[in-house]
Structure formats: structure tokens, C-alpha cells
Structure 1
């Protein structure tokens, strides 16, 4: 038995004199490591699924693919270095830089995946503001991308101090050349920080023909879906120069109507006004804490005008019209109950009694 093991060892040493640096051995080691990682990952996935926290699930999901890529790519760079070193007969210093860039890239990839996972998870919760979550995620992503890019530049031997100095000079030139792009960028920041509206809000501008539901707030432009389902792409800089109304943030919706009563029903107006006001004060969908006015408002050309001014509890557009319909029908019922009616445009021709029945002759004969 000892002689057999000795023979196998001698044959292995003769065939692979540098087995520790052999590409085949490195590949097999990578395969074994990858299999171990998948087994460990599946085991951890089972464990974290039983916990109450969701952060461990997000972190594990972010690590899955990048770690697998690292397990294969890192040994691949070592194998490439060994092959090229034997072939070219010189040390390849750039491989060390490549390994550093690989590590930086993997770290950045994991970070971005984690940010995306956290963003998607938070957006699934109904109590979170979608606009704020997206804004924070974009800023964090941009921060790590910039840090990663600067680290890679430094790995290539570039001086960051010189780069920042050059950036200060060139930034002015770029800023002048791309002022519209920068104005849109800072306009997007203004929307994120001032928050005049958010994704899902119904907005409109009396200054421009802009009205619809906000679908997306980007760094350069905001996408608004109009009520006829057309997309409207508005540069963010526009919102710094116009007035924006946000009906989605209304506290109440107003019912404001002028109802005409016939002149011959003038004696019943005071009673009708009192009953309409009482009906509104007891209506479950009317906010009695807000202004409520029901008054005889004036003499119209063919009617006595009653003003109805009140606010509904709901701000939903569809529900508002249902409440308004109910209020108007009840007002009409009150008017009908007192034998009165809604006036319609009429004209009365008045002839003095002494001229009644006389025929007007426009061409008298002398």
C-alpha cells in the first residue's frame, strides 16, 4: 500500500512539477469553491427566510451573483497571469491593477444591487412616499458610482488632486456649455427637496397647458400622463418658472351653485333657503367645519337667485360628483315640496291698457 501511494505521488510530481500554479488545478479549485458557495448560499437562504427581518434577505440576494462572478474571475486573472508570464517571460504588473479593479467593481456591483433591493422593498410598503424613496436611492447610487470611478482612476495611477483641480477649471466650461442640462438637474433636486408634487399626484399649471398625473420624476425631466392618456415630458427646469397647482392635496372640494327660483315663488324663498341649509348641515358627506352659505343672492333677469356654497368631506373626484349630485337632487326636492320650481329664461311683454288691442300701423295714410 505504501509503495502504491509512493508511485502515485512520483507520477503526479513528474506530470505536474508546478501543480500549485497549474491552470487546471486553479480551475478545479474555482469549481470546488463555487460549489461550496452555492451550498452555503442555499443554506443561508433557508435560514434567513425564517427570520423576521428583511435586511438579511436583501443582503444575501445582493451577494449571490457578484460573489459567484468573483469566484470565477479572480482565479481566471491568476491563470492568465501564469500563462502570459510563461509565454512572455516577464512579470505582468498590470494584472495586479486588474485584480484591484475587479475587487472594486464587485464591491460596487454588490452595493448597487443592495440599494436596488432596498428601494424595491421599501416601495412595496404603502406608508412610504415613492418620490422620496426614489430620490434617496438615486442620490446614494450616484454617490457610490462616483466613489467607485475615482477609486478606479486612482488604481490606474491618476492623481486625484490634479483631477479635481482640472475638474474645477473644466467644470465652468462644461457648465456654460450644458446650462440647460444642469438647470434641469437642479430643477429635479428642487422637486425632490421642496416636494410640490410626488409620483401619483394630479397636477396642473395655469401658466402652461400642463395637467395630468405624475408618473415619474427623473433627473432631467418629469413624465406626466394627461387625462386622455398621452404622455407629457416636461423638463424639470420648467417647474422653477411656473405656478403649479396640486389638486391631489386638497382638503375639501367645493360645491358652488346659483339656483334660480321663479319670481312668482318669491314668498317661499325664505322657507326654501332655511330647509336647504338644514339639509346641508345634516348631510353626512358635507364638512360643516368649513364655510357653509345658503342665501337669497339677488334678482336675476328671469329668476330669484339662491347661492349654495359648501364643501364636501371627500376630495376624490368621482366621489365628489356623486355627493354633488345627491345634494342637487335634494335641493330640487325641497323646492318641489313647497310648490315652487326652478326658473328658466323667460321674457314678458308689457302693454299699457289704453293701447291693448290696437294695431300698430307703421305706414299711416294721410
Structure 2
């Protein structure tokens, strides 16, 4: 082989004394080819992955695309830089070796972070899972995994650069105590967020409210420090997570049914129609297709009010959707009013009766009567 190289006309080649230049350009060219081939392979894999509903193949291909492209080019450039450094400075070559190791760790961590994000998006999507994972749970697990990857990658990088990991951990333990005292509120919010993720009193998209605080709206985001709630007039509320440990939270989104509870009053003059009206309303509720028949239903004569005799309607709708509930409630009330009208009764409204004693005359009427009885000559 060496004899063959000696026979080649090396002297006629440009830069014959610096063959490492050709090596550098060869490495860059190979990197270009590998990047192009990698793109073609990933495009075909992605096309095949999209034809299935598997979570992992889509996530792996999508997560690997950018890190793989950076890996090919960065490794090629570092390799070319190492070839150049050997010709110039041995110290620079050792630095590039460490830089290559650090870069590999960073790219691996980047790939794992992207993978966790892609999987998190897909496990809550019904196209990939028949029973999707709860969004709040997926977010919590994803955040914990990403924090673990970042911390682990940071420790490995420090160890690779020659720092003592045990010393860093010891310093972190002592420093953690000082930080804990200085950032009590921040830690309280962090653990409050952790309790929200574990106990799951609400999830993203739920309608929540607190009778103790002026908090009511739809949960948009649950973070480690703050939870963002959008009120019904579209104002965002940012609630520190520590607050949820000390207040009562209602979650109407998790109710199974919505309740109809209304009083209807008729006149005292129609008291004889109370029993047939109540029976007719009871029948109507039993036959209504939007009323939950497996829940409590009560329609009874309830009280004698100052201006009416009242009966109440207590039932639950099948739907729990706010707008649909109001449609059902409107239909029920209209049918109740029709039943009242069909029984020749009337809905009562507040009235007052003034009893005037017999023979009482007003002062104006009395003076007017005296003027009419006086002779014409004596009238003013």
C-alpha cells in the first residue's frame, strides 16, 4: 500500500504538503451526504409512522429529526476541527474531545426532552388511544420527566468536565436549606402544585369556583407555581398553588346531573285546582324525555304564601351542559304554565286588598254634596 502511495504523483496535487486539508473537506462532504441520507430515511419512516395509530413510532421519528441533523453536522465539524487542531495545537485537540462528549450528552438530553413532549401530546389524543390519559396527569408526568432529564444531564456534563458530582450534591444540600428559608412562598406554591397534580381536584378545562374567594371560571393551565383560570367575562386569574391548600374548591364540571328547583304560585281563588295541577305536573315530569328518571323527583303543594298558594318542582336533568340545561328548564316551565292555564287557574302575583268600611265618605265628596244642596243665591 505504501509503495502504491509512493508511485502516485503527489507532488502535482495542490496542497501536497498539507493533505489534512483534503481530509477536512472529505469529512464535511461526508457529513453533507449523511445529513441528506438521514433526511430521506426519516421522511420515509415518518410517512410510515403516520399510517399507524401507535404513539411511540410517531413520537420517536418526530423527536429524532432535529437532534439527528444537529448530531451529524456537529460531529462532522468537530471531527474536521480535531484534524485541524492536530496540525496546530495539541491542547486544542483535547478541548475538542471534551466538547464532543459534552455535545453528545446535550444532544441525547435534547432528544429525550423532545420525546417526552411528543409522547405527552399523543397520549391525551383520542386518535392514538381509545382511552386518553388525563391532560393534568400527562402534564405532571411530563414535567417531572423533563426536570429529571435536565438534572441528570447537567450532573453528567459536570462530571465529564472534571467536577466532583458528590461535592456539587453536598453543596446543593447545604444551599438548599438556605434557599428553602429564602423562598418559602415559592416552595409552598411548588408543593401546592404537586398536591394538585396528585389529588386532582380539578383538571384543565374544568369549571371551578371557591365560595371563600372571588374565584370562578375555567381552568386553562396548571403550572408548578401558578394556576391560570379564565373567568366567564374572559378575564384571566392567576392563583398561586399554595392557595388551594387552604380553601374549599367546588368543581361543577364533575356533577352528573343539573337540578331544577322552582316554586310556582297560583291564586287563592284557584285553590280547588291545586291537587289536579300538581298531579298533571307530576305526570309531565315522569314522561319528560330530558329528565333523569333515576334521580329524585318531587312535585308537592308546599306553602301558603301572602299572595299565593305555592307548589314546588324538584328534578334533575340528564344533561349537565349549562346551555342545554336551560333549554330543558325552559321547556319544563312552559309546560307547567300551560297546565295551570288548562285548569282555568292563574299564576299569582303580589297583590294587596284594601277593605273600606261601609258608609265611609271621603272629605271631598262630603263638601261637594253640601254645595249641591245649598240654594243658588248662597253658592259662591
Q: TM-score, normalised by structure 2?
A: 0.86
Answer whether contact 1:21 1:82 (CA < 8 A) is retained. no
196, 210, 213: which one aligns with 1:208: 213
1:103-118 equivalent positions in 2, closer than 5 A = 103-118=104-119
C-alpha distance after superposition, 1:44-81 (max 9, x if no partner): 34544555634223212222221121111123223323
C-alpha distance after superposition, 1:62-119 (max 9, x if no partner): 2222112111112322332343443335464222221111100110111111112212
Q: 3-state DSSP class of the match of 1:340?
A: coil
Which 5+ residue runs of structure 2 have no aligned equivalent?
364-380
Answer whether contact 1:19 1:25 (CA < 8 A) is retained. no
Which 5+ residue runs of structure 1 have no aligned equivalent?
362-366
Answer whether contact 2:218 2:230 (CA < 8 A) is retained. yes
**Residue 124 of structure 1 pairs with residue 125 of structure 2:** yes
C-alpha distance after superposition, 1:177-198 (max 9, x if no partner): 1111111111111111111111
Note closer, same or farther for the CA distance 1:298–1:43 as it changes in structure 2 (3 Å cut).
closer
**RMSD (CA atoms):** 2.4
Q: TM-score, normalised by structure 1?
A: 0.90
Answer whether contact 2:10 2:16 (CA < 8 A) is retained. no
Answer whether contact 2:192 2:244 (CA < 8 A) is retained. yes
Q: 3-state DSSP class of the match of 1:307?
A: strand
Moved more, 203-212 or 158-167: 158-167
**Residue 329 of structure 1 pairs with residue 329 of structure 2:** no
Note closer, same or farther for the CA distance 1:343–1:79 as it changes in structure 2 (3 Å cut).
same
Answer whether contact 2:20 2:83 (CA < 8 A) is retained. no
C-alpha distance after superposition, 1:148-193 (max 9, x if no partner): 1111111122212222122111111101111111111111111111
Note closer, same or farther for the CA distance 1:36–1:311 as it changes in structure 2 (3 Å cut).
closer
Moved more, 74-83 or 302-311: 74-83
261, 271, 282: which one aligns with 1:266: 271
**Cα distance in structure 2, aligned partners of 1:46 and 1:287:** 48
**Cα distance in structure 2, aligned partners of 1:58 and 1:64:** 10
How many residues in Structure 1 have an aligned counterpart in Structure 2? Answer: 355
Note closer, same or farther for the CA distance 1:130–1:304 as it changes in structure 2 (3 Å cut).
same
Note closer, same or farther for the CA distance 1:245–1:9 as it changes in structure 2 (3 Å cut).
same
Q: 3-state DSSP class of the match of 1:192?
A: helix
Note closer, same or farther for the CA distance 1:191–1:29 as it changes in structure 2 (3 Å cut).
same
Answer whether contact 2:259 2:317 (CA < 8 A) is retained. yes
